[in-house]
Structure 1
Amino acid sequence: MRINERRSLGRRLRPYFTVFDLPLMLIICALLSVGLVTLYSAGLGIPGKVEDQMRNIFLAFMVMWFVANITPQVMMRIAVPAYVVAVALLVAVALFGTIKLGARRWLHVGVDIQPSEFMKIAMPLMLAWFFQQRAGHLRWQDYAIAAVLLAIPVALIVKQPDLGTALLVVAAGFCAIFLAGLAWRALIALFVTALASLPVIWTVGMHDYQRDRVLTLIDPYLEPLGKGFHIIQSMIAIGSGGVSGKGWTHGTQAHLEFIPERTTDFIFAVFSEEFGLTGNLVLMFLYLLLIGRGLMIAGNAPNLFTRLLAGSITMIYFTYAFVNMAMVSGIVPVVGVPLPFMSYGGTALLTLGLGAGILMSIQRHRKLVQT
């Protein structure tokens, strides 16, 4: 009888430890492995980086496991409270947040936290819930309300200022609005409006340092030893890698400290210099697999809420990877977006793990969600 009871208990507990989606898990583990190898090289001379990142990875997996065990129905119930709390934290940051490097992005609650990171998940949760409540009878007013729900936190994040995080929140929110059925005519109208407003944004809506980043993007050699120095060195590192790279731990730009933030935002430059074009193609293939798996989960999702949520999380991954690689390569201005599952950092990795857990939950519970 005791043996049967133990087996019965094991059967009951087993589903809680088999929650990980195998294809998604393998892709994430491959990216994390590449990230640790690159971080070891980039962090030579900086003790504790790899150890700290392994701790961050462990915490991210714990978050991923916990969220993967939560059903989409529970996520629907916490969507509105999560959004309200995240907006309240952003308001708190604006009122009495901690200032670092000229930006007010952190809130001290015993430790410093960055509430804008939470909005990357709270925003798609809120919009997915909002459109699920109106499924089948959406009107243009609903899209207008969704745009306001998106604009409120984005405005608070831009004010900090933190354009990188604001861009990720916009990407996730816009993806949810678009997948909910936004007409192409409205999309074209928004695009034309955005183009027409560029002069106003340039003169009124941007800080001096942001305008400098755009000008540096256009011609980094205007100030090769000043504002353009970092992006020039990054492009040199990428180009000097050639086809096969200089070899692991043999990158000169990184180890001679020409590359800024080489363990975080500019880790792609370190990887490119040491592994070359071949390594870049492998890395891009891994990201394509990650995005493809996310889109597959979204396509198999049983209702509007899970479909919009999975699509938005996948768009966050795409925006992370595309903006970081383009930023380091000198294609878009520097906005401070880490490379997903590779850059050193705890908060961003926890957010990515949270997103992966949501995808796994949607995939795992797809047959249990009422259509």
Structure 2
Amino acid sequence: MSYLEYTVKRVPTGLSKVLYVNWALVLLLCAVAAVGFLMLYSVAGGTLDRWAEPQIKRFALGMAAMFLVAFVPIWFWRNIAALAYAISVLLLLAVEFFGEVGMGAQRWIDLGFMRLQPSELMKITLVMMLAAYYDWLDINKVSRPLFVLMPVLLILTPTFLVLAQPDLGTALLLIAGGGIMMFLAGVHWLYFAVVIAMGAGLVSAVFLGRGTGWQLLRDYQYRRIDTFLDPESDPLGAGYHITQSKIALGSGGWSGRGFMQGTQSRLNFLPEKHTDFIFTTLAEEFGFLGGFSLLALYILIILFCVSSALKNKDRFSSLLTLGIAATFFLFFAVNMSMVMGLAPVVGVPLPLVSYGGSAMLVLMAAFGLVQSAHIHRPRGR
């Protein structure tokens, strides 16, 4: 849809935009965040000060950012997509020179009032950039080799910068998110078949290169793979996280031990209980029903996003909404798989539930983009 066609359609303006907000989506986001506040209160031993209160303040700030982004016309975000992507790349480069080191990785930039993790921002700006690219590109050229090369470069550039931090989990999410965007844009399936074949070869190279001078992963990343394949091989070392996580998941049973009654988290057996492994605390205290309820909320968020995208006739808006929905899905799918032992531990937080600043604010801004696409969707007279 051209800009002229976009503007001649009836698009909400001024205060009328409030009427077109997807309020059901807002309520779902609040419900998921409330689950996070509850669990952070629990893992802190019944106090708000340690984790829950800062998280509530961040969510309030994120909600304000969401509405601020939502009320800005979607064409503005399309026009600055390339700039947002370039700034994210520059921030990733800045991490290499000025980044703070934490837990053996250099991933953050200290802004004084908060620590920014540029890789979190890149997950969204990459989706924006690819949506803008495919909105500009003639649909008949989507699968031509020259026009496939550009998005591949857009994906691989930040991926290599993130790998250098090192952050294998985020790098894989960037590749997966970018690949989904290309698929949604209509790139021919043969390209994906080639990538899958290359991926199989890369996995083989990863295992064959272990212990040699050209090994592709760091030693601790190989240990994570070993732990994933056989957690019992080192239950007190590399396998400790996943072993304790499985104990917590299993002990929750059908309905859980009860709020603030989880032994694994209360007795500090479960590491990273307020960040990456917070889902296991939820499952231990509220059981299968609690875990399934959170998953249902996540799925409803995805469905609302997909529904909004399918109703939107603007290609950029539709691709952007679907891309953010796919990225959100990858977040919780990888985290839940990780803590259940279905995937290696890669350090991916549970969206809107795990304690953290950058991930919360960036994700809320991303849903602001979804709302902007929904509010400013061209509507017939």
User: TM-score normalised by the shorter chain: which range applies?
Assistant: over 0.9
1:127 to 130, 137, 150: 130
Counterpart residue number, 1:3? none
Provide the C-alpha distance between the structure 2 equivalents of 1:258 and 1:130, rounded to a whole number of angstroms: 48
Task: State the match for 1:34 in structure 2.
Answer: 35
Equivalent of 1:276, from 287, 290, 293?
Answer: 287
| Distance (Å, rounded) in 2 between the aligned partners of 1:159 and 1:45 | 39
Amino acid in structure 2 at the alignment position of 1:277: F
Find out whether 1:223 has 2:234 as its counterpart.
yes
The Cα of 1:137 is off from its aligned counterpart by 3.2
In structure 2, runs of 5+ residues without a counterpart are 1-11, 210-214
> How far apart are residue 140 of structure 1 and its match?
2.4
Equivalent position of 1:53 in the other structure: 55
1:1-371 counterparts in 2 under 5 A?
A: 14-15=15-16, 17-18=18-19, 20-44=21-45, 47-110=49-112, 111-138=114-141, 139-202=144-207, 203=209, 204-367=215-378
Q: Offset at 1:92?
A: 1.5
Distance 2:96 2:206 in 1: 21
Q: Partners in 2 of 1:262 and 1:242 — Cα distance?
A: 19
Query: Which has the higher mean CA deviation after the structures are superposed, 12-21 or 289-298?
Result: 12-21
Given the two structures, how large is their TM-score scaled by the length of structure 2?
A: 0.90
Q: CA deviation at 1:136?
A: 2.6
Secondary structure (helix, strand or coil) at the match of 1:137 reads helix
Aligned-partner Cα distance in 2 for 1:185–1:114:
35
Name structure 1 gaps, 5 residues minimum: 1-10
Further displaced range: 51-60 or 19-28: 19-28
Of residues 17-26 and 143-152 in structure 1, the stretch that sits farther from structure 2 once superposed is 17-26
For 2:220 and 2:339, the matched residues in 1 are separated by 18
Identity %: 39
Q: Distance in 2 between matches of 1:88 and 1:109?
A: 15
Shift of 1:16: 5.2
Q: What letter matches 2:320 in structure 1?
A: L
Moved more, 130-139 or 75-84: 130-139
- Per-residue Cα deviation, 1:78-99 (whole angstroms, up to 9, x for no partner): 1011111111111121233222
Instruction: Give the 3 Å change call, closer, same or farther, for CA 37–335 of structure 1 in structure 2.
Output: same
Map Cα deviations across residues 201-249 of structure 1 (whole Å, 9 max, x no partner): 3423211111100100111111111111111001000000000100011
SS of 1:205's partner is coil
Distance 1:260 1:25 in 2: 31
Contact 1:135 1:304 (8 Å CA) reproduced: no
Q: Which amino acid aligns with 2:348?
A: V
Paired letter, 1:230: H
